[in-house]
Structure formats: C-alpha cells, structure tokens
Homo-oligomer: A and B are copies of this chain.
Amino acid sequence: MTAPGLNAACSTTILSAATKPAKVWAPHEQEVEILAAIGEPFSCLNAVELFADLTTQDMAALDRMSPPRLFRSGELVFSQAQPVSALFILKAGRIRIFRVAEDGKTLTIAILEPGAVFGEMLLIGQQMYDNYAEAIEDSIVCQLSAADVEEHFLSNPKVAVKISRLLGEQVARLEERLTDMALRPLSARTAATLLKLAETAPRNRFTQSQAVKLTHEQLAGLLGATREATSKTMSDFATRNLIRQGRGRIIIENSAGLRRISRTTF
C-alpha cells in the first residue's frame, strides 16, 4: 500500500509533504520530510511495471546505480540545455512534460504521477527530443544512465517487448489526442481530459467522486487553450453540476454527463 503505483494512491505522507510548494528555496522542516522519504526502504525500481521481469540481482544492481534526487517545485528536470541522457523514474511528486513554441507558448504533453518512467526516448537512441520536464511539486526522481540501461535492459527481450507496449500505448494516446485537438471543440476536449485525468486519481470511497488536482492554468496547458477559455468552460460545467471546484482541484460529480459532452462535436 505504500508501493508507488501508477496512480497517486501511494504513500500519503510523502505526497502531502510534496504538496506544499516552496518556490523560493526555503529549506524548512518540510524538506526534512521529503528527504526522509529518499531513504525509505522502497527502491525506485520495484513496483514499476517496466522492470517487473528483471532478476532480483539486476534490480539490486540498477537500484544502486540510480541515486534519488530531489527537484523543487518549478525546477526543470531536463530541457534543451540539459538534454535527456538518462531514464528517469518518478518516485514522489509530479512532473510535467511539455514543449515550447518559438513564441514561448507551451503545450503540456503529460503530467506524470509517482511510478511513471520518463525520458524513454533515450532508450531508442533518439537524440532529437525537445521536450522539457518540470517538477510541478517537490519531487523525487531516480535516474539511470544510458550506459546502465543499455547493459541491463536491451539485452532482456521481455523488457524490450514491454517497452514496445509502453510506446505503443503512447502512440495510441497521442493519436487520439491529436484528432481531439483537430476536430473537437474546447468543451468536449475539456470533458474528455478531465475524465482521463480522473481515471488516474484516487476515488473517494463514499461519494464515488474523484478529484483532479490541477489549476485551470495547468489544465489549459494540457488542452492547448488559454487559461481564460478553460476557466469559462469550467464554470460552465460547475453551474451544470458536472463538477465542483476548489482552488487547484476539480471534483468530478457527474462523470456520465461529462462523458456525454466529451462525445459532442459542436
């Protein structure tokens, strides 16, 4: 239950610690909390599906080679300046992967939850990869160097197949998103995105409602829309009782209704 899975249901203590953003480098007691988490018994590797087929020895070896590192909320994990040369595993916190246009506008490709693996492009010898990764909460990230990955990984056919599957899913998701972008109005995209995000989110066992922990601005980045337009859509949804709003969090009230809207074209 403390094992970091793909959803955020893990290790509440870590998460709640990471939740408090500390923009201006204010090392206080919360930092100790986070740092404590680094030393926790659970390695970066286990419980990450990608590594499930490794031998215990390999796993241990890799684990020793992958020092956990803390990124403050707002810090860049990688960028053009510091191009990807490693495989990252997100242990705690949240990371936003995004791209930047010439004029500075950005589109968020994904928002990662603990347990996610990123920087996978390196696995396939891709140099050109102009994505940025930024911690949107204080986050703990382990990194495996390219060489280590090469040695322990690509040799193992089971892992290779798993990587293919991973990438394949990503392709499917991206194609879906692309067509949404091209031929669906903002309202539909918003509804769809909320639902998708909710899947990952923990469900309140009593009310069955689910909370998405994002600001309108972050959501807008994901939708490829402006903050204003997104806000408008959200308050529209709110008045229709499809969602409830709280500063930085959105609670899905009526997922059926959202699903209907998400299928709408006009």
Contacts and interface: CB of A to CB of B under 8 A. Distances in A.
Interface in A84-115: 99, 101-103, 105, 107, 109
Contact of A182 (B107, B120, B161, B176): B107
Given A177-B178, A178-B178, A181-B224, A164 B124 contact: yes
A107 B175 CA distance: 10
The residue in A124, A129, A176 that gathers the most chain B C-beta atoms within 10 A of its C-beta is A124
Interface stretch (A17-25, A73-81, A165-173, A193-201): A165-173
Contacts of A164: 123-124, 160, 163-164, 167
B183 A126 contact: no
Given A161-B154, A167-B164, A181-B182, A265 B172 contact: no
A236 to B, nearest CB: 21
Interface in A124-140: 124-126, 128-129, 131
A84 to B, nearest CB: 12
A160 to B, nearest CB: 4
A263 interface: yes
A179 B99 contact: yes
Contacts of A155: 157
Contact of A168 (B99, B131, B167, B263): B167
A32 interface: no
A121 interface: yes
A184 interface: yes
Interface of A: 99, 101-103, 105, 107, 109, 120-121, 123-126, 128-129, 131, 154-155, 157, 160-161, 163-165, 167-172, 174-179, 181-184, 224, 263-266
21 contacts: A99-B175, A99-B179, A101-B179, A101-B265, A105-B183, A107-B183, A109-B175, A109-B178, A121-B168, A123-B164, A123-B168, A124-B164, A124-B168, A126-B169, A167-B170, A171-B174, A174-B175, A177-B178, A178-B178, A181-B182, A182-B224
